[in-house]
């Protein structure tokens, strides 16, 4: 441990209301800590700049509920909860899948979806599935609640729409993708306990061989997790069932992808590799969809 | 052979229960009264002069014990072969993370801040960061030419062989990267000093007497005032051969200055950045072969990156040189080898010790030679593998009854090699998943090289306690590989007593004799044999004294031992190493018996290369080896499985990212080793041809499994992709770069 616990302060107010009050009264002073699986890594390495923490491990944030057309996942739900939830497995299998890919078992037991999103790593594993499923977020503070599409959450590298006194209260998932085609894949540095070099999830509706709706999320190809809006636009209405046309579609899609992504060289991979594999995954996705649509 | 009761049986590990119950105590579990904690201030530059050291305000410096090179009472070096490795920087820095200054304080949490508050000012000098740069010699950082050591091994007339008509010449260059040991337990030590007893060191280490020798040099204390005790050690793999002498000397210096016991335990980031790794290598092969596939001559040039100081590089290079010829008969061979200095933390011992580098090159190259002469890898090897009676590269006659051709066939059968090869050839063109199968045939010399064992002159004892327990006295240590268990098995077998009544004497230089370092796959074969003869001596003493009959039960043996102790005050039998007869070695010409014995192996790997992500999965692995005698089948199988896993890491995952001599990815998130999810079923098979001078026929086994996986896997990848990859680690990024050149790129599609 390169940090000194005596220098840190941790409050455990115990209820959501008390947490929100604290965050509101002294905005920016207290850093929320949920599972701690991001924070404690920095702590161990002596790289944590914050000193004051408030535990947001409160029951109000740990529920998964189903009502009407939505499943609501509390921001404090662990990936184990998500992975095991029958409703999520049924309606949002790619999210359950991504949860199962995140770190190891211990990590899934502690790490939360709120922490995964708020930490805002471009390599995080849950964002692609959330883009693909059209998720929305409910942000909460002592001032009240507001609801935003997940697409509007990431503003830049490690910058989010969260105000200083706000928490991710709920992740909302619309149950309208049961009949969609889907594709999900994580390319990590190894098969388990791996940070993604690329992670991708997509849903699509293909009618009479034509793409009617498509949503694609991708990680590690830009400063933030990305919804591939340009690629989606390029694919809307295209025909997948004719082999010759499909090749052109794939080429157009790869080009659109290149236009909206900017992978980098880092300690885990290279820009060249990410560019190539992102395109390959996109192609694999389209061939899978085409196969299913035929 | 089958009548043995204990040897060859899967008896439990001696220390297994304590480990499983969490009762085993490692260095960081130990505490001494009044103990304080030490930390190390390390260099931030690869090379330069230290101009000054400043202590920033805000830290209660008067509470700290501070040690610099000036405080060293003895010699400022870690005693090894050349004594060129400073214990603490004295004016000149030669690599990043070099220890400059030591701090100790009762509150360990204050240490990171204090380390950060020490500012060292430097005058930077130009530095060298690759074999090529070192070879070019524009900047000289060691000796006159940056060469830490060189060897020339020659057999036959290589130049004449290459001048022959009608031959095929195949050339190739092969490179391997550094590898981090990643033992579970980081390096750690506790030292205590008092004027009368001198220095006592407790450490997580492999070689108590190596640390003993270095502590004597650094402290200037005599032999009997330095005591080294190995505590339970959480893995080593060679990484705790030399570095414990460094961290141990640091703890001792702080203990001497502060007058308090001092503990230093590295965290993972420090351990990875500052301690040794496997030597990176570059090997060039030029091979002359007849048109019908008989090897005529090899001209091999092998280079290692040794890091900033010579440390163990000469011996690693020696083993690499000797293993370069592989398991083949060469009428003519020349190996020119050099270890170069670079401004990197010194590379050190790592399971295999030069052989994995050499054999990667050789076994990858042999597949390419086979292809060049139009033979399958197996048929080409069949024509050239060593036979009993033939000579190795050093001219050593193989006296053992070996059957490499037969063992190769058995391994290939176990892997269903021929059927799979044909099927993959048929199916690969259509898929995005390309399958391949490849193999390697190799050898590993057991024990110290050449005259090494004679210099070590190991001494071993077996004694009995007043309670009638039997003890094995050796400085050979347990660090997960099974030393305790096999040596107790050997003693129990020889004495004719139950395994349960035999135990290991504490690995404490104040108690046990020097049976040599726990390295070089020597423990089972060399030390085991000495335990066997010491045990035999003990038994004969009891029989000769009339206290024991020819046939007895364990209790009767114990009673006789007690009676003997009652009468004579003790019962102990010692045995000293004697070289097997007919062993001849010339250190100058590198000719003769390089090793008392070789272990042999054939490893077969099956892989899938997925061309969407360019990732490689090892799907199946057959590991067949001849190791003389399997002393404990569970431990032996574990050694092979672990070695293969480590070899898979070496081949496909483990990449040290260097930035001017500094490891950038010094954390487990970014230095990738395979998990259980990345490993195939590893199918282990043994052949046993007992070696007459090993314990119950045993030869070395610990390092062998590290040598074969990388070439077998890369040969399989070559089969799958049709591409020659000749560098490890081979990451998906590297495969992508090569394969993408031929893939339907976006530009080509533009014409559709
Ligand atoms: C060994 C290991 C392996 C890992 N593997 C993966 C992996 O494969 N894929 C992956 O994506 N991640 C991985 N992670 C990262 C981490 O586990 C996840 O990002 C996890 O979801 C973080 O959640 P947490 O609750 O632990 O976050 P914390 O560490 O508690 O918090 C992280 C950040 O989010 C903020 N925060 C937390 N909750 C909220 C909230 N509800 N509202 C607003 N802000 C909040 C905190 O203030 C902090 O800034 C790994 C981590 C480790 C240690």
Structural domain spans, chain B: 16-24+458-576, 31-125+181-274, 281-449+590-751
* Same fold: B16-24+458-576 with B31-125+181-274: yes
Smallest CA-to-CA distance from B327 within B409, B390, B401 is with B390
Q: What is the pLDDT of residue B526?
A: 96
Residues of A contacting chain B (CB within 8 angstroms): 1-6, 41, 44-46, 187, 189-195, 197, 244, 247-248, 250-251, 254-255, 258, 267-270, 272-273, 276-277, 279-281, 283-284
Task: From chain B, pick out residues whose CB is under 8 angstroms from the CB of A254.
Answer: 746, 749
- Pick A267's closest partner by Cβ from B113, B657, B736: B657
Checking if the pLDDT of B580 tops 90, the result is no
Q: What is the pLDDT of residue B743?
A: 54
Q: B19-53, pLDDT tens digit by residue?
A: 999 999 999 999 999 999 999 999 999 999 999 99
Non-local CB neighbours of B737 within 8 Å, separated by 6+ positions? A272, A273
Checking if the pLDDT of A5 tops 90, the result is no
Q: Which of residues 724-743 of B touch A (CB under 8 A)?
A: 732-733, 736-737, 740
Checking if the pLDDT of A108 tops 70, the result is yes
Checking if the pLDDT of B750 tops 60, the result is no
Q: What is the mean pLDDT of residues B507-523?
A: 97
Q: Does B750 touch chain A (CB under 8 A)?
A: yes
What is the whole-number distance in angstroms between the Cα of residue B606 and the centre of ligand 1? Answer: 37
Cβ atoms of B243 and B97 closer than 8 Å:
no
> Which residues approach ligand 1 with their CB closer than 6 A?
A 31-39, 41, 56, 75-76, 102-103, 107, 110-112, 114-116, 118-119, 124-125, 162, 167-168, 195
What is the whole-number distance in angstroms between the Cα of residue A107 and the centre of ligand 1? Answer: 9
B31-125+181-274, what's its fold?
A: Aldehyde Oxidoreductase; domain 4 (3.30.365)
Q: What is the mean pLDDT of residues B554-574?
A: 97
Q: What is the pLDDT of residue B748?
A: 42
What is the whole-number distance in angstroms between the Cα of residue A35 and the centre of ligand 1? Answer: 7
CA angle B356, B360, B361 (to 5 degrees): 125
Q: B645-675, pLDDT tens digit by residue?
A: 999 999 999 999 999 999 999 999 999 999 9
pLDDT grade for B1, boundaries at 50, 70 and 90 = very low
CB contact under 8 A, A267 and B740: no
What is the whole-number distance in angstroms between the Cα of residue A276 and the centre of ligand 1? Answer: 28
Q: B377-430, pLDDT tens digit by residue?
A: 999 999 999 999 999 999 999 999 999 999 999 999 999 999 999 999 999 998
Q: B126-155, pLDDT tens digit by residue?
A: 999 999 999 999 999 999 999 999 999 999
Q: How far is B430 from chain A (nearest CA, A)?
A: 15
Checking if the pLDDT of A150 tops 50, the result is yes
Checking if the pLDDT of B751 tops 70, the result is no
Q: How far is B188 from chain A (nearest CA, A)?
A: 15
CB contact under 8 A, A250 and B749: yes
Q: A196-237, pLDDT tens digit by residue?
A: 999 999 999 999 999 999 999 999 999 999 999 999 999 999
Report how far residue A79's alpha carbon sits from residue A83's, in angstroms, rounded to the nearest whole number. Answer: 6
Q: What is the pLDDT of residue B489?
A: 98
Smallest CA-to-CA distance from A78 within A50, A104, A53, A54 is with A104
What is the whole-number distance in angstroms between the Cα of residue A95 and the centre of ligand 1? Answer: 16
What is the whole-number distance in angstroms between the Cα of residue A49 and the centre of ligand 1? Answer: 16
Q: What is the pLDDT of residue B747?
A: 41
Task: From chain B, pick out residues whose CB is under 8 angstroms from the CB of A256.
Answer: none
Q: B454-465, pLDDT tens digit by residue?
A: 999 999 999 999
Mutate which of A114, A150, A171 for ligand 1? The one with the most ligand atoms within 8 Å of its CB, which is A114
Give the three-state DSSP class for B640.
Answer: helix
Question: Contacts from A19-22 at CB under 8 Å and sequence distance 24+?
Answer: A19/A54, A19/A55, A19/A56, A19/A58, A19/A167, A20/A140, A20/A141, A20/A142, A20/A165, A20/A167, A21/A142, A22/A54
Structural domain spans, chain A: 5-55, 61-174, 190-293
Checking if the pLDDT of B528 tops 60, the result is yes
Q: Which of residues 216-255 of B touch A (CB under 8 A)?
A: none
Give the three-state DSSP class for B620.
Answer: strand
Q: How far is B208 from chain A (nearest CA, A)?
A: 28
CATH number 3.30.390.50 is the correct assignment for the domain at A190-293? yes
Percentage of residues of chain B with pLDDT beyond 70: 98
- Give, using CA atoms, the residue closest to atom 2 of ligand 1: A103
Q: What is the mean pLDDT of residues B492-513?
A: 98
Q: What is the mean pLDDT of residues A115-139?
A: 98
Percentage of residues of chain A with pLDDT beyond 70: 100
Q: A63-99, pLDDT tens digit by residue?
A: 999 998 999 999 999 999 999 999 999 999 999 999 9
Q: Which two tokens stand for residue A43?
A: 């702590």
Q: How far is A220 from chain B (nearest CA, A)?
A: 15
- Give, using CA atoms, the residue closest to atom 32 of ligand 1: A115
Report how far residue B490's alpha carbon sits from residue B483's, in angstroms, rounded to the nearest whole number. Answer: 11
Residue-averaged pLDDT of chain B: 96
Smallest CA-to-CA distance from A136 within A150, A120, A125, A152 is with A150
Smallest CA-to-CA distance from A276 within B672, B742, B717 is with B742
- Give, using CA atoms, the residue closest to atom 47 of ligand 1: A32
Q: What is the mean pLDDT of residues B504-519?
A: 97
C-alpha R_g of chain B: 27
Smallest CA-to-CA distance from B104 within B255, B215, B274, B247 is with B255
Q: B280-337, pLDDT tens digit by residue?
A: 999 999 999 999 999 999 999 999 999 999 999 999 999 999 999 999 999 999 999 9
Checking if the pLDDT of B554 tops 60, the result is yes
Q: B584-639, pLDDT tens digit by residue?
A: 899 899 999 999 999 999 999 999 999 999 999 999 999 999 999 999 999 999 99
- Give, using CA atoms, the residue closest to atom 15 of ligand 1: A38
Q: What is the pLDDT of residue B742?
A: 65
CB contact under 8 A, B750 and A251: yes
Cβ atoms of B681 and B621 closer than 8 Å:
yes
Task: From chain A, pick out residues whose CB is under 8 angstroms from the CB of B113.
Answer: 4
Size of interface A-B (CB pairs under 8 A): 86
Q: How far is A100 from chain B (nearest CA, A)?
A: 13
pLDDT grade for A31, boundaries at 50, 70 and 90 = very high
Q: How far is A190 from chain B (nearest CA, A)?
A: 7
Task: From chain B, pick out residues whose CB is under 8 angstroms from the CB of A124.
Answer: none
Q: What is the pLDDT of residue A2?
A: 87
Cβ atoms of B84 and B310 closer than 8 Å:
yes
Q: What is the mean pLDDT of residues B158-181?
A: 98
- Pick A247's closest partner by Cβ from B432, B733, B749: B749
Q: In CATH, which of 3.30.460.10, 3.30.420.40, 1.10.300.10, 3.30.465.10 is domain A61-174?
A: 3.30.465.10
Mutate to test the interface with A, among B649, B664, B736 (most CBs of A within 10 A): B736
B281-449+590-751, what's its fold?
A: Aldehyde Oxidoreductase; domain 4 (3.30.365)
- Pick A2's closest partner by Cβ from B112, B676, B749: B112
Q: B472-492, pLDDT tens digit by residue?
A: 999 999 999 999 999 999 999
Specify the CATH number of the domain B16-24+458-576.
Answer: 3.30.365.10
Report how far residue A114's alpha carbon sits from residue B307's, in angstroms, rounded to the nearest whole number. Answer: 45
- The pTM score is 0.97
CB contact under 8 A, A189 and B672: yes
Phi, psi of B740 (to 5 degrees): -65, -25
Q: What is the pLDDT of residue B582?
A: 75
Phi, psi of B86 (to 5 degrees): -70, 145
- Pick B109's closest partner by Cβ from A4, A267, A280: A4
Q: How far is B263 from chain A (nearest CA, A)?
A: 15
CB contact under 8 A, A280 and B613: yes
Q: Which residue of A has its CA nearest to B675?
A: A192
What residues are paired with B588 via a beta bridge? Answer: none
Cβ atoms of B314 and B278 closer than 8 Å:
no
Question: H-type helices in B291-437, by residue range?
Answer: 313-323, 355-372, 377-384, 404-414, 417-427
Q: What is the pLDDT of residue A102?
A: 96
Q: Does B330 touch chain A (CB under 8 A)?
A: no
Report how far residue B408's alpha carbon sits from residue B624's, in angstroms, rounded to the nearest whole number. Answer: 8
What is the whole-number distance in angstroms between the Cα of residue A192 and the centre of ligand 1? Answer: 17
Q: A259-282, pLDDT tens digit by residue?
A: 999 999 999 999 999 999 999 999
Q: What is the pLDDT of residue B745?
A: 45
Q: B673-716, pLDDT tens digit by residue?
A: 999 999 999 999 999 999 999 999 999 999 999 999 999 999 99
Phi, psi of A133 (to 5 degrees): -100, 10
What is the whole-number distance in angstroms between the Cα of residue B683 and the centre of ligand 1? Answer: 39
Within 10 Å of residue B220's Cβ, how many Cβ atoms? 12
């Amino acid at each position: 441990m390169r940090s000194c616990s005596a220098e840190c302060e941790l409050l455990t107010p115990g209820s959501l209301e008390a947490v929100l009050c604290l965050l509101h009264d002294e905005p920016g002073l207290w850093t929320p800590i949920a599972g701690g699986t991001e924070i404690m890594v920095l702590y161990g390495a002596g790289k944590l700049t914050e000193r004051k923490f408030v535990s947001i491990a409160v029951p109000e944030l740990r529920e998964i509920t189903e009502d009407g057309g939505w499943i609501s996942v509390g921001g404090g739900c662990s990936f184990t909860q998500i992975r095991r939830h029958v409703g999520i497995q049924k309606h949002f299998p790619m999210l359950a899948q991504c949860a199962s890919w995140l770190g190891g078992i211990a990590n899934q037991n502690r790490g939360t979806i709120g922490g995964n999103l708020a930490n805002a790593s471009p390599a995080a594993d849950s964002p692609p599935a959330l883009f693909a499923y059209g998720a929305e977020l409910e942000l909460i503070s002592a001032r009240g609640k507001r609801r935003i599409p997940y697409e509007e959450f990431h503003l830049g590298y490690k910058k989010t729409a969260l105000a200083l006194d706000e928490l991710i209260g709920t992740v909302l998932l619309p149950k309208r993708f049961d009949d969609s085609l889907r594709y999900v894949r994580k390319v990590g540095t190894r098969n388990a306990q791996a940070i993604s070099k690329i992670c991708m999830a997509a849903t699509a509706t293909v009618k009479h061989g034509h793409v009617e709706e498509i949503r694609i999320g991708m990680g590690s190809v830009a400063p933030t997790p990305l919804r591939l809006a340009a690629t989606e636009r390029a694919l809307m209405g295209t025909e997948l069932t004719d082999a010759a046309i499909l090749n052109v579609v794939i080429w157009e899609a790869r080009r659109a992808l290149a236009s909206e992504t900017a992978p980098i060289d880092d300690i885990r991979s290279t820009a060249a590799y990410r560019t190539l594999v992102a395109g390959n995954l996109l192609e694999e996705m389209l061939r899978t969809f085409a196969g299913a649509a035929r | 052979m089958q009548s043995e009761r204990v040897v060859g049986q899967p008896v439990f590990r001696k220390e297994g229960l304590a480990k499983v119950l969490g009762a085993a105590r490692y260095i960081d579990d130990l505490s001494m009264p009044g103990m304080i904690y030490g930390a190390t201030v390390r260099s931030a530059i690869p090379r330069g002069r230290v101009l000054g050291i400043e202590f920033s305000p805000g830290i209660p410096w008067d509470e700290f014990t501070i040690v610099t090179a000036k405080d060293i009472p003895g010699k400022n070096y870690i005693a090894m072969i050349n004594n060129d490795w400073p214990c603490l920087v004295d004016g000149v820095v030669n690599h990043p993370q070099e220890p400059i200054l030591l701090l100790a304080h009762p509150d360990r949490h204050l240490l990171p801040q204090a380390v950060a508050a020490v500012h060292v000012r430097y005058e930077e000098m130009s530095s060298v960061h690759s074999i090529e740069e070192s070879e070019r010699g524009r900047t000289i950082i060691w000796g006159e030419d940056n060469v830490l050591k060189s060897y020339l091994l020659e057999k036959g007339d290589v130049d004449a062989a290459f001048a022959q008509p009608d031959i095929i010449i195949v050339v190739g260059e092969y490179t391997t990267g550094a590898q981090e040991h990643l033992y579970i337990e980081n390096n750690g030590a506790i030292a205590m000093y008092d004027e009368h007893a001198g220095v006592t060191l407790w450490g997580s280490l492999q070689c108590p007497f190596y640390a003993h020798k270095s502590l004597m040099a650094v402290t200037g204390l005599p032999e009997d005032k330095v005591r080294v005790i190995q505590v339970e050690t959480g893995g080593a793999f060679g990484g705790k051969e030399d570095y414990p002498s460094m961290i141990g000397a640091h703890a001792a210096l702080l203990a001497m200055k502060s007058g308090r016991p001092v503990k230093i335990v590295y965290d993972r980031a420090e351990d990875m950045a500052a301690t040794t790794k496997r030597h990176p290598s570059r090997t060039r092969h030029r091979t002359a072969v007849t048109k019908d596939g008989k090897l005529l001559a090899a001209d091999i040039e092998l280079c290692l990156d040794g890091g900033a100081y010579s440390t163990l590089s000469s011996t690693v290079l020696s083993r690499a040189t000797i293993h370069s010829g592989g398991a083949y008969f060469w009428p003519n061979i020349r190996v020119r080898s050099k270890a170069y200095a670079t401004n990197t933390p010194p590379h050190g011992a790592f399971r295999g010790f030069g052989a994995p580098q050499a054999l990667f090159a050789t076994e990858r190259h042999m597949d390419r030679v086979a292809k060049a002469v139009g033979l399958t890898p197996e048929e080409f090897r069949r024509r050239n593998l060593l036979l009993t009676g033939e000579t190795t590269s050093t001219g050593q006659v193989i006296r053992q009854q070996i059957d490499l051709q037969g063992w190769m066939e058995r391994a290939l059968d176990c892997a269903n090699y021929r059927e799979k090869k044909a099927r993959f050839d048929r199916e690969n063109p259509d898929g995005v998943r390309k399958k391949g199968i490849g193999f390697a045939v190799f050898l590993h010399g057991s024990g110290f090289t050449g005259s090494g064992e004679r210099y070590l002159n190991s001494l071993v004892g077996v004694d009995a306690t007043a309670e009638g327990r039997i003890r094995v006295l050796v400085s050979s240590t347990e660090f997960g590989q099974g030393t305790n268990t096999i040596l107790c098995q050997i003693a129990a077998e020889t004495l004719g007593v139950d395994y349960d009544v035999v135990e290991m004497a504490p690995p404490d230089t104040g108690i046990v004799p020097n049976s040599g370092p726990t390295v070089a796959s020597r423990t089972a074969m060399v030390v085991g044999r000495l335990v066997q003869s010491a045990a035999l001596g003990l038994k004969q003493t009891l029989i000769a004294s009339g206290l024991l009959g020819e046939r007895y039960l364990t209790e009767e043996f114990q009673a006789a031992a007690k009676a003997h102790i009652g009468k004579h005050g003790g019962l102990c039998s010692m045995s000293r190493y004697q070289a097997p007869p007919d062993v001849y070695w010339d250190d100058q010409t590198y000719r003769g018996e390089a090793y008392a014995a070789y272990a042999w192996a054939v490893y077969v790997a099956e892989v899938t290369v997925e061309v969407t992500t360019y990732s490689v999965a090892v799907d199946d692995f057959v590991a067949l080896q001849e190791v003389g005698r399997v002393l404990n089948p569970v431990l032996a199988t574990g050694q092979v499985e672990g070695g293969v896993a480590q070899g898979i890491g070496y081949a496909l995952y483990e990449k040290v990212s260097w930035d001017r001599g500094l490891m950038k990815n010094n954390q487990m998130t970014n230095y990738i080793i395979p998990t259980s999810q990345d490993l195939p079923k590893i199918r282990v098979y043994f052949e046993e041809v007992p070696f007459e001078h090993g314990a119950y026929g045993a030869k070395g086994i610990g390092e062998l499994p590290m040598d074969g996986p990388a070439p077998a896997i890369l040969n399989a990848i070559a089969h799958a992709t049709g591409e020659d990859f000749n560098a490890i680690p081979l990451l998906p990024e590297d495969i992508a770069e090569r394969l993408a050149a031929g893939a339907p790129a976006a530009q080509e599609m533009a014409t559709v």
